[in-house]
Structure 1
Amino acid sequence: MTAVPVRAPEVGDAGRMLAAESARYAALGWMRGTSGNLSVRLSADPLVLAVTASGLDKGELTAADIVLVDRDGAALPDQPGPARRPSAEAGLHARIAAVTGAGAVVHLHALPAVLAAERWPAGVPLRDHELLKGLGRGADGDLVTVPVVPNSQDMRVLGDAFQKVWRPDVPALLVARHGVYVWGDDLRAARQYLESLEWLLRFVTAAG
């Protein structure tokens, strides 16, 4: 009897979407080496995520290169497909999905995010930029502060730090000297937020 509360076709669809989206970000230079990870929610109760597998070139993933994890980021038993290890950051993906209700979480090591977190460790202020509309915010007079938390190799510590600074109107988190997490209802929504935020962070770090 399987412990995975989702159907094989759903898992296959999730794998194909995650592979395609990973290839997109790798082509942009945002998932260098084997860095970064993406997830989609397959079940809310119990929480089950499909997460990109660890240690693989994100520009070359196949639909089979995913792992199903529970609300703690631990791999579920009796999974379809080859045995893979989940990303070390799967626990933070799961915490973000559980707290925000997100259908997808994207984590990248894009350089502007790391530079911005270094420059504004208390949170990155963004205001009066047209691309704030891409975050669902106003382009005139609407202050958006992207939260920053210290890095940790312990996902429970990072999850607690995220939960302390999380605001429902800012779908992003910067982890100092690490990268950015963005989430949305699905991968397409997360992509919109991420691409808008990456441009904004490039602008403010270049402008000083």
Structure 2
Amino acid sequence: MNVFEEGAVTDEVLARAGAQLAAESARFAARGWMPGTAGNLSVTVGRDPLRLAVTASGLDKGELASSDIVIVDADGAGVRGEGGSEQRPSAEAGLHARIAAVTGAGAVIHVHALAAVTAGHLWPAGVVLRDLEMLKGIGHSAHGETVTIPVVANGQDMTVLGDAFEALYVRPASGSNDVPALIVADHGIYAWGRDLRQARWHLELTEALLQIALARR
């Protein structure tokens, strides 16, 4: 379970969430995956009701402070009086919230990595992967299993994008695993996990797998 979900959403919890979000944002900005103000990250800080701490909109993702977070609800709307700053959340916070609600994720990362953007453009019906060792890192077999990274069409309505994601999402069942990533065609990629570290691993592994798929083309 994400440690942020275990108790009340205190100032200490929010400060810790903000520090982790700032550190991870700087990491991805340094890799060129969050140029300028692009991209956003979130951690789940409450489940009932759903609350996410999301990086604030319009700020350089390589220079965030721990206070540069906004608390949003299940629709991605900013919630006043529950901590966080008075800055605006990204419009994409709504998709973060939908992913957290559907998958139970403790953290969601959205970046503009080149391979993901390119792969989403080339394979709008999904990126099919097979017989690659790194598939084990996203919960699948390295051999003998076909895995599809889902792709949805880009748009500005997060409800529409969320509906498209949920229609494609494969819920974990006995003997199977979901894919912890979603490509928004011609835009970027979302990856998630139980916490920011696992979400980062899923993102890095998926981006590497997509680079291999493009090189094999």
Task: Show CA shifts across 1:10-62 (max 9, x none).
Answer: 11000000000111111111101111100000001100000000011111001
Any residues of structure 2 matched to 1:179-194 within 5 Å, and which?
179-194=188-203
**Identity among equivalent pairs (%):** 63
SS in 1 for 2:45: strand
Q: Report the equivalent of 1:27.
A: 30
Task: Show CA shifts across 1:153-200 (max 9, x none).
Answer: 011111111111111311111101111011110001111111101101
2:108/2:190 contact within 8 Å kept: yes
Q: 1:81 to 1:195 in 2, by over 3 A?
A: closer
Cα distance between partner residues in 1 of 2:119 and 2:152:
12
Name stretches of at least 5 consecutive residues in structure 2 with no aligned partner. Answer: 1-7, 172-177
Give the deviation of 1:67 after TM superposition: 0.3
Q: Which amino acid aligns with 2:144?
A: G
Q: 1:80 to 1:43 in 2, by over 3 A?
A: closer
Structure 2 residue 181 is matched with structure 1 residue 178: no
Q: Report the equivalent of 1:129.
A: 132
Give the alignment's TM-score, normalised by structure 1.
Answer: 0.95
2:40/2:109 contact within 8 Å kept: yes
Q: Report the equivalent of 1:160.
A: 163
Structure 2 residue 108 is matched with structure 1 residue 105: yes
Name stretches of at least 5 consecutive residues in structure 1 with no aligned partner. Answer: none
Give the alignment's TM-score, normalised by structure 2.
Answer: 0.91
Structure 2 residue 43 is matched with structure 1 residue 48: no
Task: Show CA shifts across 1:78-133 (max 9, x none).
Answer: 24354211011000000000011100000011010011111111110011111111
RMSD value, Cα: 1.0
Cα distance between partner residues in 1 of 2:85 and 2:166:
33
Cα distance between partner residues in 1 of 2:131 and 2:68:
41
SS in 2 for 1:75: coil
Cα distance between partner residues in 1 of 2:16 and 2:44:
12
Q: Report the equivalent of 1:144.
A: 147
Cα distance between partner residues in 2 of 1:153 and 1:141:
37
Corresponding pairs, count: 204
Q: Report the equivalent of 1:65.
A: 68
Task: Show CA shifts across 1:124-157 (max 9, x none).
Answer: 0011111111112111112110111101101111
2:71/2:84 contact within 8 Å kept: no
Q: After the TM superposition, which segments of 4 or more aligned residues of structure 1 sit over 6 Å from their partners?
A: none
